[in-house]
């Protein structure tokens, strides 16, 4: 599959089959996050792969918006290290995107559960603290997201994209043609 096709086909999948993910496939998906770029090439992230059913069920309670982890075959907690890089959030976000795309390539579906909350410090502390406790995450690290993975048991309805001319401009903001 070429990269653009993976980008076009990618959707959020929140229902999964009970079929396990072969280890070699899961490793490849996680490696996509490992190979994602980081600002100044600094080692500013970790990815914690969770396959234990009980643990996935507990992680599903991190926020009200990741119940799909209860059906997922695996979860990847993506963390950032502010003490290593000022770009920790971007770095972790890139890793999430690469993981999501690689999941598409290998026929898996993925859902994204936001944990870090940039505008509500207390809420972020609560969510991150919950995950931190479960996975023994060092206190300096931030929890950016938990991705759920599994073979898709749903086909999302076609997506209506924001019109191209509202998003893409040429040379100056607002100029819609070249």
Ligand X SMILES: Cc1cc2nc3c(=O)[nH]c(=O)nc-3n(C[C@H](O)[C@H](O)[C@H](O)COP(=O)(O)O)c2cc1C
Contact string 21-60 vs ligand X (x = CB under 6 A): ----------------------------------------
Other beta carbons within 10 Å of 139: 8
Contact string 110-129 vs ligand X (x = CB under 6 A): -xxxx---------------
CB of 153 within 8 A of CB of 17? yes
Q: Does 150 bind ligand X (CB under 6 A)?
A: no
Q: Does 5 bind ligand X (CB under 6 A)?
A: no
Residue 139: which residues within 8 A CB-CB, separation 6 or more?
132
* CA 175/CA 154 separation, integer angstroms: 39
Cβ neighbourhood burial of 49 (10 Å; 0-12, 13-18, 19+): middle
Q: Does 156 bind ligand X (CB under 6 A)?
A: yes
Q: Which of 6, 12, 124, 130 binds ligand X (CB under 6 A)?
A: 12
- Judged by beta carbon, residue 12 or residue 51, the one nearer ligand X is 12
* CA 38/CA 176 separation, integer angstroms: 32
Which residue ranges make up the site for ligand X (CB under 6 A)? Answer: 11-12, 14, 63, 65-66, 111-114, 156, 159
């Amino acid at each position: 599959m070429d990269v653009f096709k993976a980008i076009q086909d990618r959707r959020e999948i929140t229902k999964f089959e009970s079929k396990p993910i072969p280890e070699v496939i899961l490793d490849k998906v996680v490696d996509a996050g490992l190979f994602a770029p980081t600002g100044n090439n600094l080692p500013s992230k970790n990815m914690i792969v969770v396959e234990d059913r009980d643990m996935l069920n507990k992680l599903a309670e991190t926020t009200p918006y990741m119940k799909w982890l209860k059906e997922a075959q695996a979860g990847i907690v993506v963390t950032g290290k502010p003490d290593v890089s000022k770009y920790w959030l971007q770095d972790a976000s890139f890793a999430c995107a690469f993981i999501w795309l690689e999941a598409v390539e290998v026929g898996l579906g993925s859902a994204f559960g936001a944990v870090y909350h940039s505008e509500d410090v207390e809420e972020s502390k609560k969510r991150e603290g919950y995950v931190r406790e479960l996975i023994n995450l060092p206190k300096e690290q931030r929890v950016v997201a938990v991705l759920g993975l599994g073979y898709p048991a749903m086909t999302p309805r076609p997506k209506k994209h924001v019109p191209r001319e509202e998003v893409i401009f040429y040379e100056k903001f607002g100029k819609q043609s070249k």
